[in-house]
Structure 1
């Protein structure tokens, strides 16, 4: 094993965390909803009634096929992103390579790949694309961010501030007005950073939204806003490989960057979207007076049975693990309302609610604006949450067919 790689027990724990922490969403107390945000804030009440939108998208192109060109026989597309020219970037985890596609769907170039040489990845976990096409890749194997210019040429490496600690975070979000990144901690698993703390990885005490500065040799972090997180959780232990299961239906941390460099995020159980900016914190709050669903005994039993069925369909080992999880599973008293959030280049905030069942993440998608207008809602199942937003109304979706073949579809929002 290469000496620069993380210790084997650490990598094993990373795999456990990656497989299980998507269920680990932190609890929320109603009276502490706004406790993390001090100072003057504009609170905007959104309407209660839904105004249904008819999806109107123009398909631009689709790529990905077993019978296609070798480059588009994708193994595991983890993320996609656009630059300001409308080029699409795809990170394929199967080969640790990044592909660049023209605005009309033609292959442009590829870079990266697995290895130890300059510009190669040991473990490309996630990436971000700046407006001008500069690419930043979070590489677990190097404990660093690797930076590439707009032509895909390797530029430099920026080390993480510390090594061997776990921080469960969102994907990297590029700052539209600069060369920095935004990230939020305590969100559905997309990346882990590590820092050595005597073999025990402690949980964070808040869920901060941070801006990362990559100007130096080591990344620096500035807190934009503090998302609330209750104390008292047990640490994640590398020595035992144990990962806490968290509470079912507890609130998620859902962030997205807006075109002025603000960050919209949800960190609570209620329908509340906070908007924060560097140096000011939370300055605007958007609220819809929708009521969460209580978690009854029937809801708890149905959720446990659903998880067991899903695990059984995967493997016997998955079922064994899920039985342990079920025995220790705790439930929040009400069902978290919001399940996903995306932000467009023109300042829209797409907010996805849960569906008819509490475990259904694919409910209606509300379209808001950062200045507090409610434009309407796409009905459940009418459209998926885009995997990436781009200029001039571009959106990208990662789709998987019944044969597990991945296709990336690029469309443009035409009207509503």
Structure 2
């Protein structure tokens, strides 16, 4: 029997009533697709722009580690490259850059996120968020939640209601022993003038499936959930629940405004799937000397791997990462067997309309990391076989008329 995927958008915090039913009395979503996805629902990526140079090229155009990127008001591409912001024209020509490693105003010492508003660029930098004009002039540098608050800022988002940041409390381990629990991530509004934080709009554990051995050594179960968030231009926060493609959407006041649900008929995890995971994780341990030594030090194959498999989630897929465009288009990754694979097999992502309608499935190469979605375009970082990073822009080909 073919698997069926039901895609629905439920408005409000509770169900608004029964939908249309088939002859068997089963509730149907507004639209559904059959699994496996047919050729008419498969989308492809067409590369339209690549930014970066191989080693030996112009220094200004060389990218080391792309932390984040965003699009400016004129279509300029702002790239956070370790401790430097680099700006390129819509055609990929280098325009300017600023930043250096340091702890002073305008310096960077632990960047993670970048966001661009109409006339301002925000960069998250450890416990600080720094704001610049579009040319790179420092406007303000604030401590997230205040200097003594101990909040680390990662992602930043520009919305119509103000700046939104993802923060978590800094954890300091003073005594030897098992690492303390990772604090939850919190999504809050931030005052760019003072660094004051609003009340949490949403909070979540990024890796809720981390368990511990009797020795205190942490490990993640096979097919573990990795939870992330997304924020649209209106300030709505999208948070996956980790299973069944269910995304909760919260308003700026923290209230649940709607649920985007893709009800997927689960696929049971079989012994054959677990055996494939076991082989792939052993292969990862043997990939290079660094990994081999690390696996031997923690006795990964003998002690940790059996627990990883024994505590595997009983079914797949689960929601992985999500991206949301300013207009509400959603790109949702399917965290299944291929997500754990050591192979170079592409990963499947599903594209949804702002209304929650399934538009198609995209196979994204394993060395391409999607970062932002803008209409029919996906921007991300791509790493070649030599470890050189690039920024790439792809057009999604095959989209249905909507």
TM-score, with length taken from structure 1: 0.73
Distance in 1 (CA, whole Å) between partners of 2:207 and 2:59 is 48
1:103 aligned residue: 90
Aligned to 2:23: none
Q: CA deviation at 1:398?
A: 1.3
Partner of 1:47: 32
* SS of residue paired to 1:306: helix
Which of 332, 340, 344 aligns to 1:351? It is 332
Q: For the pair shown, which has the larger CA radius of gyration, 1 or 2?
A: 2
Shift >6 Å, 4+ stretches: 164-167, 228-235
The question of whether the paired residues in 2 share the 8 Å contact of 1:82 and 1:389 is answered with no
Q: Tell me which residue corresponds to 1:319.
A: 295
1:307 alignment partner, SS class: helix
**C-alpha separation between the residues in 2 aligned to 1:303 and 1:364?**
18
Which deviates more, 264-273 or 42-51? 42-51
Query: 1:288, 1:326 → 2: CA distance?
Result: 31
For residues 5-404 of structure 1, what are the structure 2 equivalents within 5 Å? 39-40=13-14, 45=29, 47-49=32-34, 50=37, 52-55=41-44, 57=46, 59-93=48-82, 96-124=83-111, 126-140=112-126, 143-161=127-145, 171-183=154-166, 193-195=169-171, 201-204=180-183, 210-227=187-204, 244-315=218-289, 316-320=292-296, 321=298, 322-323=300-301, 324-329=303-308, 330-354=311-335, 357=338, 359-360=340-341, 362-379=346-363, 386-390=370-374, 393-404=376-387
- 1:147 deviates by 2.0
Gaps of 5+ in 2: 1-11, 20-28
Q: Structure 1 CA distance, aligned partners of 2:86 and 2:384?
A: 21
Deviations 1:258-297 (A, max 9, x none): 2322122212221212222111522211222312332334
Query: Where does structure 1 lack aligned partners over 5 or more consecutive residues?
Result: 1-37, 186-191
Contact 1:60/1:412, CA 8 A, preserved across alignment: no
The answer as to whether partners of 2:42 and 2:398 remain within 8 angstroms in 1 is: no
The change in CA–CA distance for 1:415 and 1:353 in structure 2 (over 3 A counts) is same
Once the 2 structures are TM-superposed, how far is the Cα of residue 213 of structure 1 from its aligned partner? 1.1
Distance 1:264 1:217, change over 3 A: same
C-alpha deviation, 1:332, in angstroms:
2.4
State the alpha-carbon separation in 2 of the partners of residues 380 and 111 from structure 1.
Answer: 32
Which structure shows the higher strand fraction? Answer: 2
Distance 1:41 1:172, change over 3 A: farther
Provide the rounded CA distance (Å) in 1 between the counterparts of 2:365 and 2:389.
20
Check 1:311–1:251 CA distance in 2 against 1; reply closer, same or farther (3 A cut). same
Deviates more, 1:195-204 or 1:126-135: 195-204
Deviations 1:50-70 (A, max 9, x none): 451343646145333224311
Partners of 1:90 and 1:300 in 2: CA distance: 39
Q: Alpha-carbon deviation of 1:310?
A: 0.7
Distance 1:400 1:304 in 2: 26
2:248/2:256 contact within 8 Å kept = yes
Distance 2:151 2:162 in 1: 25
Higher relative contact order (CA 8 A, sep 6+): 1
When normalised by structure 2's length, the TM-score is 0.75
Taking only aligned residues, the RMSD between alpha carbons, in angstroms, comes to 3.7
Counterpart CA distance in 2 for 1:64 and 1:194 is 36
1:141-161 CA distance string (max 9 Å, x none): xx2222222221122222133
1:177 deviates by 0.8
Residues 409 and 228 (structure 1), Cα distance of their counterparts in 2 relative to 1, 3 Å cut: closer
Residue 387 of structure 1: SS of its match in structure 2? strand
The change in CA–CA distance for 1:385 and 1:347 in structure 2 (over 3 A counts) is farther
